Structure 1
């Protein structure tokens, strides 16, 4: 038996074992004559010494009026693996769109010129994509193990904004706007065809579209120190982001955010693995759904009865359905259908609840007043139970469908 220590394994490869995945790290710049030289020299030295994959740096000037462009051109002449490009359209999104669309690399990435994010997180970021595990990887300053130093104002704005993404869009990532991201080139290009923003909202729009279309976004906790010379205007950027979110929500709800992209699907690794058949999966889902359905019926009854003492049948029914529907949909999203993340889920669930409301209200109004309260409650609860059975198919095939347009 050979007891010699094994040699250090080579990094996993994207696509084929014939070669290592290449990485293009883009640095978008706008009037950054002070920060650019130090950034490029520091980054190039780090990559030469500690980065195991083939790499290049692309300086992307988007409309600078100072000495940024001459400096970028000089740096490109100084280093063989540094390239410089210039476009007249301002905005980080415009710079990334132009650089990523024409990049020859397998993986495209970007970082801010101030190097606020510690470079030790770069390989873990890229490795998640190069291994084929994820299509996109992002740095996060909001993970428990991340270490950051920034002003209270930026901390509050960042956490509030990302909370809005989690609870308003069901986003699975925690930090949309950290300037530290990587993606498979063949995946990000069709996504960019749907991204409309050319400014700071570009990152958020790209990530929400990625999750909307079933792609996996991997997060890497980072060490991050705020540069007080940043070009970010927090209040203006926040206002633009809110406008972008409204536009994107409409695009998702109308079905215009679907993109045909190549994404990894889970397959068993063991050659003799026994995989659950679709029928068994459906039975497990239905069992979970049935348990949630029973609790929902009880909750609906407990809400309807006291409200009926003050309100009309239609109004009491509406209030009970709204409250129960929110609980039921969220419970099924978490435990029955596997935390599906898509904004159209809320629109479709609302449409399904409206149908349920119409039918249950029709049932309760069909009961004559002289029949008494017990008959009225019995009619509405019986109709709700019947619709709950039908609701499973609607949730499975429509509301929580993983099929992307």
Structure 2
């Protein structure tokens, strides 16, 4: 885990922040490092950062010539060797006790991005009325304008999987305070899971944030992102494994699309076979006898295919009862259709009539199969390697309760 601290003219606050954070991380269950990014300071911030990096083994410092929190995070996250990247503000406004639940959701593989929130139930904040109103209004605009599910875009307390966030960084254009919002909007737009952790947050009055100016810049950024999404330019190729069952013998429903395609193929083959048999037997038998032979042969040949290819086997008694009922219904309806055709109409009209009755009945097997039968389980896919092994070592899962 690499925690980035972007700083601009923070000579006073930086030493206390880094020493406090390093002491807190001493008992953290994940390997960690702290990266200080000085982006354009004009005071003694860089000297303080270099001194801290020399003093503390797991603290690193780098300097950028350009300003902006977004630029600092982009540079640090792009070059970080860690599996998880995070950041927090130098004033430590967010209670550090929220760091473990923040990182745990990402390290376990449950979420791609985790953020602290000051606006969700359970969060406790202490800040000025102006900042409270601006924050709530801005995040309400995000929820109603973009339909986002997260509640606080601008809290300076976030973590992400490195392999996921790097493709997003290529799409994020902002280098200042809107960086956070743009990153989250792109993440949700591309189907990533964003986990929220309610935090305790106390405003530091010695802040570099200019609330009104930042809000105006954010509105401009929102318009730009909305335009990019509407033009289809916000897509990002992000590797995300499909869900897989933990139980080795789990019976998991197949995707409905795959089930529909398989049943549609079986139904089409069944209709073609039925028409061919009906035409062959009709030359020597009556319509009722021909239909009986065609339906019986079609059921014998194709009846086992849906059970073997599209759905799992049920109890034999239940299968026989349903097959008998379906056979009787199909035979009765198709025979009625055949007898309703005048003898002078010709074979083509007669076959068309029985197919018109047989086709929907064949397709109804998909409806009956998808609703009433258990379907074959997928072969569980190989789960991606995760840093969850580092959490709570040596135990990876909580023991079962004896109750």
TM (norm. structure 1) is: 0.63
Q: How big is the shift at 1:263?
A: 1.8
Instruction: Output aligned runs, 1:125-274, within 5 Å.
Output: 125-274=102-251
**Higher relative contact order by CA 8 Å / sep ≥ 6: 1 or 2?**
2
Instruction: Output aligned runs, 1:217-366, within 5 Å.
Output: 217-279=194-256
Greater Rg over alpha carbons, structure: 2
Q: How big is the shift at 1:275?
A: 2.2
What residue ranges of structure 1 are gaps of 5+ in the alignment? Answer: 1-22, 284-405
SS state at 2:66 partner? coil
1:25–1:250: structure 2 CA closer, same or farther, 3 Å change rule?
same
Aligned mates of 2:41, 2:242 — CA distance in 1: 43
Aligned mates of 2:28, 2:72 — CA distance in 1: 24
Instruction: Output aligned runs, 1:378-397, within 5 Å.
Output: none
Q: How big is the shift at 1:281?
A: 10
Q: How big is the shift at 1:252?
A: 0.6
Contact 1:132 1:264 in 2 (8 A): no
SS state at 2:37 partner? strand
In the TM superposition, structure 1's runs of 4+ consecutive aligned residues that sit over 4 Å from their partners are 280-283
> 1:170-205: CA deviations, max 9, x gaps?
111010000000001111111000000000000000
| 1:35 matched to 2:5 | no
Q: How big is the shift at 1:267?
A: 1.9
> 1:109-156: CA deviations, max 9, x gaps?
000000000000111111111101111000001111011101111111
Aligned mates of 1:214, 1:79 — CA distance in 2: 39
> 1:60-106: CA deviations, max 9, x gaps?
00000000000100000000100000001100000000000000111
1:280–1:213: structure 2 CA closer, same or farther, 3 Å change rule?
closer
RMSD: 1.4
Aligned mates of 1:281, 1:145 — CA distance in 2: 42
Aligned mates of 2:85, 2:248 — CA distance in 1: 34
Aligned mates of 2:31, 2:149 — CA distance in 1: 30
TM (norm. structure 2) is: 0.63
